[in-house]
Amino acid sequence: MSPTADRPAPSAAVPQDRLYDGLILGVHLATLDGEGYGEIADGALGWRDGLLAYVGPRSALPGAPEALAAQVIESEGWITPGLVDCHTHLVFAGDRAREFELRLQGASYEQIARAGGGIVSTVRATREADEDALLRQSLPRARTLVNDGATTLEIKSGYGLDYANERKMLRVARQVGQTLGIQVRTTYLGAHALPPEYAGRSDEYIDAVCEWLPRLHGEGLVDAVDAFCEGIGFSPAQTRRVFEAARALDLPVKLHADQLSDLGGAALAAEFSGLSADHVEYTSEDSVRAMAAHGTVAVLLPGAFHVLRETRLPPLDAFRAHGVAMAVATDCNPGTSPLQSLRQAMQLACTHFRLTPLEALRGASEHAARALGHRDRGVLKPGARADFVRWTIGHPSELCYWLGGALAGDVYAGGRRVGGAG
């Protein structure tokens, strides 16, 4: 997507002789442009028409601040790029808190599923909710993510599992972005699980998934296509059929890959020049090489790793050795990762996967943007979208240090304040 694709209309209140709509002074900038944090002390950040226009030291501004911008803000703390949550399932109805309690009391996933729980219960609740109810339940989760620093969200379908309800989920995802003033990238995940009405007929269900895709894309509801390639999901051959349907429409693909076993999912995603392979705990080094060759991002999902108490780590050293970018996301969903803070996902990535705070921050901004196909955000530099967060911290490493807390003072998307505690 080009840097101007989502540009807001120019503000009529700003005289044309002003360089900037707004200008923030006195903060430390973590630009992530170049090596390390890209720190600029006593920095200045100016934006116009939804894009960053000045990123640098206050002392190098091309004039007196009051003459440069209609809105001049003296502040403190740190500013980073806006965070990008590149893997969520946050549009759903109901919850599975009771199942969480039952698992802690010794019930197995199979026992819960046989009793009507598991993903089937979320599908049932999502199908029963109308569009307005689904939006009401989903908006608070999205708003919480925004208030904690997220300025771009990916939202998947996959709890409808029929045409009407997949469409409903994608429509609600679009409404979330419009309501909150942020960009939402929608991902069609019809191949998430086999619905009860297709029991024993998984190939027929994949036929249906591929048939629904052009219709949903024709309504402008699909930005990318995903699938769950796993023994309890869909086979590589079935996933390939979904990807071929996406390629026929020139839609990018991403994949739930190698979470529970190595079926070569990450390599399959790379073969289709996929934006990302997600989870990737069991990904082989051959698949890592394929990802590197095709620029496929590895999306780490430490929330699910944490909740499921997994022990198999993703091949982090191989990703580093082969130059595969590592993104970090919440995987916000009702069953395996009820996580509503991308900053907490960063902390978990440091704790469980031993990422450095710098790797985690880049993973939740620059690399997460790449995992959605964006090249216009995730760093602070002129021409990028004016998506940024002012944090009440003394150093960026604190974003991965504190467990909880309201650290995002102000959250800006496209040059407009959309959230934060300030």
The binding site for 4-imidazolone-5-propanoate consists of 96, 159, 192, 259, 336
Known binding residues for Zn(2+) = 87, 89, 256, 331
Q: Token digits for 405?
A: 């807390």
DSSP state of 132: H
The kind and range of the H/E element at 48 are strand 39-48
Nearest to 112 by CA among 130, 97, 91: 97
Q: Token digits for 380?
A: 């602070």
Beta bridge partners of 253: 225
Q: What are phi and psi of 90, to 5 degrees?
A: -75, -10
Known binding residues = 87, 89, 96, 159, 192, 256, 259, 331, 333, 335-336
Beta carbons of 249 and 223 less than 8 angstroms apart = no
Question: What are the strands, taking DSSP E only, across 87-203?
Answer: 150-156, 183-191
Known binding residues for N-formimidoyl-L-glutamate = 159, 333, 335
Tokens 């005289």 locate to 15
The residue type found at 136 is R
DSSP state of 298: E
- Taking the CA atoms of the chain, what radius of gyration do you get in angstroms? 21
Cα–Cα distance, 53 to 310 (Å, whole number): 44
Beta carbons of 191 and 233 less than 8 angstroms apart = yes
Nearest to 280 by CA among 326, 244, 241, 321: 326
Cα–Cα distance, 287 to 268 (Å, whole number): 8
